[in-house]
Amino acid sequence: MSIQVESEIGRLRRVLVHRPGDEIVRMTQHDLSRMLFDDILSPTETQREHDVMVDIMRAAGAEVLEFDDLLRAALEFAPTSEREALVEAACERAGAAGIWSELAAWPTARLAHALIAGAYWDEFVRSGTSLTRLRDELEGARPMALRPVPNLMFMRDPCVALYDRVLVGRMATGARAREPLLVAFALRWAPLAAAPLEFAQDDVARDAAFRSVEGGDVMVLSRETLLIGCSERTTPQTIERLGSEALFVDHPKLSSIYAVMMPQLRSVMHLDTILTQIDRKLFLGHAPLISGQGSRAPLAVIRLERDRPPTLVRGATVLDVLREECGADVTVVPCGGEDPLFQEREQWTDGANAVAIAPGCILLYARNTHTIATLAQHGFVQSMLSVVVPPEQRDAIVQEGIARQRTVFTFTGSELSRARGGGRCLTMPLERESLEP
């Protein structure tokens, strides 16, 4: 599989997604905090909303790869030693090391399902008794030996396609620790994938400060420039490691990495929760932090360059950096409009987290009405889709929208947005067309 992502807005040709399944069914209200959720989701509605998003991308001409299919193919095709190494490492990350050998012997489809949706203790008959198992069984109900990974639908975070290869992430929380293992394994071993990986070495022994980077913080401005959020999930130590050990080494044209100094808050957990690119000179962002509007101080930016120490870009906002790198006429459309109340509300519901399927054609949750109204002032026409629009009608709506100069495809996301992630979080582009000069 060729990887080509040189921008955030080139026409989308291939994208990886994960349709949420039993991993969200097996989550109860008692799991919310450790699983990084604010509420339990309706599985049926979540899947329907995800299906609408996928239908839009397919109708726009993108090849959509389903992660479940890729993982099953990789488990079938990989050497036995690699399959066993994956299962052992996944169980170790999940605190369930005693079950790995029995789990690795399961049939491929059952194993793939367990690695994502988890497995119950009563499914293991050869693994024997352990203190962990006895403690779990004392809690009653039907305890799980391997817990699910309900955040896997946010396919951008564990790995992210960058230029001509895939950057393997390191998750900041234990709840997501095995996701990069699964995604990297699938992309490496699935027969039609075999994607080149970078920053892929196992460094789990290092302190967490040196191995925390998630794809939602990584933004491609051009072949020469990256923006990376130094956030709740991505540490400054890892950004510096990433630059010196992988990015500047593997990508000769890359000259600058700008690290955006973000608050350590769940409400702005990744850079793409406050900024996404939607057209050549147009971004969608949380204005108080990106351009310094309102009472909140704008975010500081630090530049990393090849073979030079990091330097603070003094007095510059993120908007100033965007104009320096992308042109003086760059504009940031304020998520939520000009009203500070709706700026805050719609930032929380992923109003700044759009994903482009072509320059000027983006996907956004329909609930962000003030953001959509503000986009209209910049020439975006809304094309509305929802779970009640029959699939056969969606194609015609998308074809009409993609023909316009600027379109915002809105889709129902009431359940998806409750999981704290928008269209960019839910998608991992693998191939985009190059932008014409």
pLDDT at position 141: 83
Collapsed DSSP state (helix, strand, coil) of residue 300: strand
Residue in this structure with the two tokens 């699910």, named with its chain if needed: 148
Rounded to an integer, what is the distance from CA 77 to the centroid of its chain? 26
Task: Please tell me what DSSP assigns to residue 247.
Answer: I
> What single letter denotes the amino acid at residue 316?
A
Q: Tell whether the model's pLDDT for residue 433 goes beyond 80.
A: yes
How much is the pLDDT for 36?
Answer: 87
Checking if the pLDDT of 2 tops 80, the result is: yes
> Each residue of 160-217: pLDDT tens digit?
999 999 999 999 999 999 999 999 999 999 998 889 999 999 898 899 999 999 999 9
Per-residue pLDDT tens digits for 300-329: 999 999 999 999 999 999 999 999 999 999
Which band of pLDDT confidence, cut at 50, 70 and 90, is reported for residue 413?
A: confident
- Spell out the domains of the chain, with CATH numbers in brackets: 12-66+154-168+201-432 (3.75.10.10)
Helix crossing, 67-77 with 179-189: angle to 10°? 70
Q: What is the pLDDT of residue 296?
A: 73
On whether the CB atoms of residues 219 and 7 are closer than 8 A, the answer is no
Range 11-31 average pLDDT: 94
Cα 193 to chain centroid, rounded = 19
- Computed over every residue of the chain, the mean pLDDT equals 94
pLDDT digits (tens, 9 = 90+) for 203-261: 988 999 999 999 999 999 999 999 999 999 999 999 999 999 999 999 999 999 999 99
From start to end of 58-129, where are the E strands?
63-66, 119-120
- Express each pLDDT in 342-380 by its tens digit: 999 999 999 999 999 999 999 999 999 999 999 999 999
Q: Is 258 exposed, middle or buried (0-12, 13-18, 19+ CB in 10 A)?
A: buried
Q: Flag whether pLDDT at 128 surpasses 90.
A: no
Residue 295's pLDDT band, with cuts at 50, 70 and 90, is low
Residue 294's pLDDT is 65
| Among 341, 342, 354, CA closest to 273 | 354
| 291: its two tokens | 């351009």
Residue 293 binned pLDDT confidence (cut-offs 50, 70, 90): confident
Residue type present at position 90: A
HSE-CB at 244 with a 13 A cutoff on CA atoms is 10
